[in-house]
Structure 1
Amino acid sequence: MSIIIPGRYELVNRKYTVISKDILEPDVSKDLNDLIKYHILDISGNMIEEIQINSITCFFSHITELYFINNELKEIPVEINNLTSLKKLYLSKNKLIKISNLDKLKDLEVLDLRANRIKEIDCESLNQNLNLNYLTLSNNQIESISNLPLLVKLHSFFLFSNQISDFNQFVKDLVSKTPNLSKLLIEGNPMLSGSSDYKTILKSNLKQLVTLDFNHC
């Protein structure tokens, strides 16, 4: 039994492989006059590989939260980038290989990209998402965060189980890119192998840090 959350519209486990206006219309037609009341859309647990232009935006252009967990996306669709009111975007457990098509989401505060196949953060990945306060990239293949833009509002940054190997550079990047960070998760990266004092180093460099790898600082 799913939990009823006020304002959430569910299209979960519908076995969609493609999202288009024609595919969505039969499933939302009974609620057309009430769709404006919903600010959360959940299309998790399908097999979606493609989202066509003018599909979600045709019915849900106003939503502020999108849950698209456990699907088959290999890239972030342009259609998601057109949901310009989004504040929270959940895309974990897809097959994404890069971070793209987020530049219009200037109000985005929460971005969940866990458990994908992302290898790098390129120079333009998040440079328009300056209101982010929560970013999780855990369980990917990321080797560096050097291209991360300055995110002064970012408080929570989760990078568990990636491929970051240069600890000194990582610390420099955190200090310069995320100066107000309070929660950090980095266990499961090669840079920590044999390192016993990494927590002390991070605490001394990140003055706002409160939680590090699930432990209170």
Structure 2
Amino acid sequence: MKFLDLTWKGLNELNDEHQSLPTKNSMAYRDKTDAETTAVAVEEIDASHNLISKFHPKFICSFKHLIKLKVCSNCLSEIPAQLSNLTMLKELYVTNNRLTFLPPELCRLQLEVLNLSGNMFKVFPPVLCQMVQLKTLLMGGNGLREIPKHITNLIQLEVLYLGGNAIRFIPNEIGDMLSLNALSLCDNQLTAIPTSFSKLTNLKSLSLHNNVLHYLPREVLSLVSLAELSLRGNPLVARFAHDLAYDPPTLFEIASRSIALSGTNYTTSCLPPQLIQHLNSASKCPNPKCAGVYFEHKYKQIKFVDFCGKYRLPLMQYLCSPECISSGTSSAASSEYETEDEEERSNDIIRRVLLG
């Protein structure tokens, strides 16, 4: 493979009028085969660490077999739409530039790796959700405030880095990205993690440090492949949530609880289908001393779980009412409700917990 090295050349533009191609014997090329050194033969270009503010489409599109392009640490404020003509391009690195948007034509690229970290994106570029071939997407150090629900279109995505933004909320839909094995949401403004994370069974690394998390959902125990969890710089490391909320159940929920607890076989009754569906959605209270159930209204409590036999992490769990903890078990006490199986599993799956 032919590699064209244009790093640290003081270039202002990538333009064939300003920067002619190096000759066959130029040291700018690193021969990896005996093929002719021509634009068509070049498969990798690195033009990082220059002063490039734009590159001429005619110049860059002359590299028909280009697979990897790096234009990091320049002054680019836009990427030409004609870049989509590079049908063989698989990796694109445009870190530390001044990009604020991407042309929609880029959806025609078959990119597998895209690094846009260190730019000036305030909104997640819509075209990214159409790049269904992506396996690695890095967008750290921008100004993103939201993650679009349509990010789930990236069904092949394995690595997603969104650290160093201003994200406050994670959509539940992110739990449908089943191919993810590394997810970084560090250095944002997150206050909660959705329970849908439990579906990310292939996730091996989860970085949540430097957010505003007071607890983790108990569903994190379902992440059977998780080997590294980073939590430092969150309130949950130093202090834990208190006075958690409880909304009294409505009359409709009280009636539903009564039916669920009575043991009545309501599936064969003449109840409306909507009510039967609601009754089927009942969740059992995790307190082993309580036989209660709950629906929408429940009592939030912190439950501590051992990880690695050393750290006790606060996980959120839901009880049917505050009375379930009135028998001497408080949220700051040992995890009375935790089963031996849960505790053993939590010690096995998490190999590295980063709290400090």
TM range (shorter): 0.7 to 0.9
Match of 2:10 in 1: 15
The reply to whether residue 90 of structure 1 matches residue 77 of structure 2 is: no
Contact persistence 2:174–2:196 (CA under 8 A): no
Deviation at 1:201, TM superposition (A): 4.2
Give runs of aligned pairs for residues 114-129 of structure 1, distance below 5 A. 114-123=117-126, 125-129=127-131
Give runs of aligned pairs for residues 1-217 of structure 1, distance below 5 A. 7-25=2-20, 27-30=21-24, 33-35=36-38, 36-58=40-62, 60-100=63-103, 101-105=105-109, 107-123=110-126, 125-146=127-148, 147-148=150-151, 150-166=153-169, 170-176=170-176, 178-192=177-191, 198=193, 201=195, 203-213=197-207, 215=228, 217=350
SS in 2 for 1:9: strand
- 1:48-82 residue CA offsets vs partner (Å, 9 max, x unmatched): 11111211122x22110001110111112224322
Structure 1, unmatched stretches of 5+, are: 1-5
- 1:92-114 residue CA offsets vs partner (Å, 9 max, x unmatched): 01111123342221x21000001
Identity %: 26
Task: Rate the CA distance shift 1:34–1:164 in 2: closer, same or farther, 3 A.
Answer: same
After superposition, the CA RMSD in angstroms is 2.3
SS in 2 for 1:111: strand
Task: Rate the CA distance shift 1:112–1:120 in 2: closer, same or farther, 3 A.
Answer: same
Deviation at 1:210, TM superposition (A): 1.1
Match of 1:3 in 2: none
SS in 2 for 1:181: coil
SS in 1 for 2:69: strand
Task: Rate the CA distance shift 1:9–1:96 in 2: closer, same or farther, 3 A.
Answer: same
Contact persistence 1:126–1:149 (CA under 8 A): no
- In structure 2, C-alpha distance between the alignment counterparts of 1:173 and 1:49, rounded to whole Å: 37
- In structure 1, C-alpha distance between the alignment counterparts of 2:56 and 2:68, rounded to whole Å: 19
Deviates most, 141-150 or 181-190: 141-150
Task: Rate the CA distance shift 1:202–1:211 in 2: closer, same or farther, 3 A.
Answer: farther
Deviation at 1:126, TM superposition (A): 1.9
TM-score, normalised via structure 1 length: 0.82
- In structure 2, C-alpha distance between the alignment counterparts of 1:134 and 1:180, rounded to whole Å: 11
Contact persistence 1:153–1:180 (CA under 8 A): yes
Deviation at 1:206, TM superposition (A): 1.8
Deviation at 1:202, TM superposition (A): 6.3
Contact persistence 1:90–1:112 (CA under 8 A): yes
Contact persistence 2:174–2:197 (CA under 8 A): no
Contact persistence 2:2–2:37 (CA under 8 A): no
Deviation at 1:31, TM superposition (A): 5.8
Task: Rate the CA distance shift 1:201–1:31 in 2: closer, same or farther, 3 A.
Answer: farther
Q: Quick one: which amino acid aligns to residue 206 of structure 1?
A: L
Q: Quick one: which amino acid aligns to residue 207 of structure 2?
A: D
Q: Quick one: which amino acid aligns to residue 60 of structure 2?
A: I
Q: Quick one: which amino acid aligns to residue 57 of structure 2?
A: I
Contact persistence 1:203–1:209 (CA under 8 A): no
Deviation at 1:149, TM superposition (A): 5.3
- 1:21-54 residue CA offsets vs partner (Å, 9 max, x unmatched): 22232x4244694134431111111111111121
Contact persistence 1:163–1:190 (CA under 8 A): yes
Contact persistence 1:121–1:148 (CA under 8 A): no
Task: Rate the CA distance shift 1:19–1:129 in 2: closer, same or farther, 3 A.
Answer: same
- In structure 2, C-alpha distance between the alignment counterparts of 1:28 and 1:22, rounded to whole Å: 13
TM-score, normalised via structure 2 length: 0.52
Q: Quick one: which amino acid aligns to residue 213 of structure 1?
A: S
